[in-house]
Every structure is written in C-alpha cells, then in structure tokens.
C-alpha cells in the first residue's frame, strides 16, 4: 500500500476541458488508460446528466474563478485545454467564437501560472494558414495568414503559449491539427466535418451530399494517431522541443471524391453529390499538404493510418455502434 501511495504521488492529476468533443472523448479514455480514471478529471460546459463520463465536472472555461477552484480543490497538475469553437461555427457567431477561444485559453494559462502547473496542452490548427500561406508541404514556419475567426484565434493563441512559456516558464505544448476523423463523437462544426459525416450517412442512408467540391485536397489525421500524437508530445523531454508555438503534424491528404471512392469499396451502392457552400472558401484557403519534419525530428512523430486503413477502421467501428444501438432499440 505504501508503494502505491508513493507511485500516486508522481502521477499527474489531469484536467481535460472540452472533454465531450471530438478529440476529448477519445483523449480522456487514453489518458485514463495510462494514468487511471482517478487521475483524469473530464470537464465540459454540459451538465453531468447527458454526458456518461465518470469523474466529470461541469465547467465553463470562461468562468476563471470556477476553473481555479476546480484546479485547487482537485490538486490538478496538468491541463489539456480542448474547449473551443471550430471554424465553420465560428464564422456564424464570430465574437462569441473569439471570446471562447481566446479568453478560455488565457484563463487556463493564468491558472497554470498561479498554481505552478507542470504542463499545459492546447491544440492549434492548420486554420492558422491562409491564402498567402504555402499550399504544398506547408512548412513549420510558413506564413500564417488566417481567413477565419477560428484561425485568427489560433495564431494569437500560439503566441500567447510561447509568451507564457518564455516569460513565466510554463511548459505549454501544442499541435497544429489538420482535419480530424474519428468514430467516437460527432464532428463539432469544422470545415473538414464532411470527412466524418460522410461515414454516418453512408451507413445510415446510403448517400451523402458533400459541402465541399469533389476535388478539394485537404490534409487529414485519423483520431487514434491524433490522440497518440498528444500523448507522445506531452511525454517528450522538454529540452528536445524546439517549437514553442505549435507543431505541424499530418497523416494523409485526399479529396472528397477519393474518400467516397474508398468507402464505395466497402459499400457498393453508396452515392455522393457535391454542393459546395460557404465552407468551400475556407477550405480553399488552407494548405493541401503539411510538412511535419520538425515534429518528426524533435519527438519522433510518425502517423500510422493512411486513407485505406482509416476507412476500413472507421466503418468497422461505426457498424458495431449501429448494431449495438439497433439491439438496444429492440430490447
């Protein structure tokens, strides 16, 4: 028993904000598998009732006092700050989007400073790039030229993270995520959401209307790779990390038509129509591909899923989920 107590003393006590979102749902599970459920507190703005997570606290990250109280009372040593408004939703309500993305991050950074937390993780995005940024193999230090409120908030957030790192010594680590594809939670209002929605519609309806042009190339990452990237970056020795803003990473790149073609290999009758909307302009401003050599050099980052293996795994998990839901409905 004494040995267990000593072991617990060196384990981090982690708070995950935005835990019910696309990344948070799977990241919380991975963190709990690593550190134990008692060491990982999930939080989101939702009341506990509809969430289905244990060790959960309802939290609005814009309420700095409530955040500090939770950190103090729970002995938090690390924060994974995921709460944010994504690109497409942010364009509909830009000022609330800016407030959530900026004020939420600053509340977390200030809390980390006041309570001397060990580490903070915060996700950035390829939305920091824009029309003037390089389109092919966009480099780590490529020009940031965001065309959305979400992208502007991410550029500003990257420099706030660097500021707190250099000014106060806060160990803040960040990844610029491309489009993310996962099966555990619905997409949350981003421009790359089609790459999640298309799987659900393919299985449930046999057809899909895509809001991007069929030849729109975007960099993507499968959620298991994204979660592993976060864990690997947070576990990497601090001295080896040369990027104090946010690391480029990527997994694959494809067009909506290429994704549809791969899905059709598994679902023969599946059909897709293309009706680009306002999100097309956002997608057109982003790079086609990303150079993530800095991440590969500094902490040995390497994606494992490509288009073929991602599609197969997504369909496998979503078919199982549909089968379970159908069984429960008939019970």
Over residues 248-269, the pLDDT tens digits come to 999 999 999 999 999 999 999 9
At residue 328 the predicted structure's pLDDT band, cuts being 50, 70 and 90, is low
Summarised one tens digit per residue, pLDDT across range 106-133 is 999 999 999 999 999 999 999 999 999 9
- Residue 269: exposed, middle, or buried by beta-carbon count in 10 A (0-12, 13-18, 19+)? exposed
At residue 186 the predicted structure's pLDDT band, cuts being 50, 70 and 90, is confident
pLDDT exceeds cutoff 50 at 1: no
Closest CA to 87 of 222, 201, 177, 15: 177
Choice between 29 and 52, residue whose per-residue pLDDT is larger: 29
Q: Which of 35, 80, 115, 150 is catalytic?
A: 150
Residue 128 to residues 100, 109, 245, Cα–Cα distance (Å): 17, 20, 11
Summarised one tens digit per residue, pLDDT across range 33-74 is 999 999 999 999 988 655 567 899 999 999 999 999 999 999
78-81/179-181 β-pairing: unpaired
- % pLDDT > 90, the chain: 86
DSSP string, 90-120: HHHSHHHHHIIIIIHHHHHHHHHHHTT-SEE
- What's the pLDDT at 326? 75
| 22-31, 169-178, 187-196, 279-288: least confident range | 187-196
Summarised one tens digit per residue, pLDDT across range 224-233 is 999 999 999 9
Summarised one tens digit per residue, pLDDT across range 126-166 is 999 999 999 999 999 999 999 999 999 999 999 999 999 99
- What's the pLDDT at 87? 87
- What's the pLDDT at 52? 64
Residue 194 annotated to the active site: no
pTM of the model: 0.92
For each of the domains in the chain, give its residue range(s) and CATH number, in order of start: 11-324 (3.40.50.720)
Rounded distance between C-alpha atoms, residue 278 and residue 326, angstroms: 35
pLDDT exceeds cutoff 80 at 331: no
Summarised one tens digit per residue, pLDDT across range 167-180 is 999 999 999 999 99
């Amino acid at each position: 028993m004494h040995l267990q107590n000593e072991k617990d003393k060196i384990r981090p006590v982690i708070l995950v904000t935005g835990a019910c979102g696309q990344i948070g749902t799977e990241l919380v599970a991975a963190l709990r598998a690593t550190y134990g459920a008692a060491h990982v507190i999930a939080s989101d703005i939702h009341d506990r009732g509809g969430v289905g997570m244990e060790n959960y606290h309802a939290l609005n990250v814009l309420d700095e006092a409530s955040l500090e109280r939770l950190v103090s009372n729970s002995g938090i040593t690390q924060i994974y700050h995921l709460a944010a408004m994504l690109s497409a939703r942010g364009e509909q309500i830009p000022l609330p989007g800016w407030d959530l993305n900026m004020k939420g991050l600053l509340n977390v950074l200030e809390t980390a400073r006041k309570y001397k937390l060990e580490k903070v993780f915060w996700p950035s995005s390829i939305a920091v790039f824009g029309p003037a940024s390089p389109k092919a193999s966009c480099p780590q230090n490529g020009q940031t030229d965001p065309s959305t409120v979400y992208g502007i908030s991410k550029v500003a957030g990257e420099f706030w993270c660097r500021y707190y790192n250099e000014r106060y010594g806060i160990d803040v680590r960040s990844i610029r995520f491309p489009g993310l594809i996962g099966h555990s939670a619905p997409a949350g209002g981003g421009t790359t959401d089609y790459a999640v929605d298309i799987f659900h519609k393919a299985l449930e309806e046999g057809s899909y209307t895509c809001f991007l042009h069929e030849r729109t190339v975007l960099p993507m990452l499968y959620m298991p790779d994204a979660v592993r990237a976060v864990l690997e970056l947070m576990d990497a020795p601090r001295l080896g990390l040369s990027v104090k803003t946010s690391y480029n990473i990527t997994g694959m790149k494809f067009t909506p038509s290429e994704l549809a073609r791969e899905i059709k290999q598994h679902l023969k009758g599946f059909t897709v129509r293309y009706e680009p909307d306002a999100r097309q302009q956002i997608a057109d401003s982003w790079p086609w591909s990303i150079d993530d050599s800095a991440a590969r050099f500094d902490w040995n980052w390497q994606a494992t899923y490509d288009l073929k293996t991602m599609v197969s795994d997504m369909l496998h998990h979503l078919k199982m989920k549909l089968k379970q839901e159908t069984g429960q409905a008939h019970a």
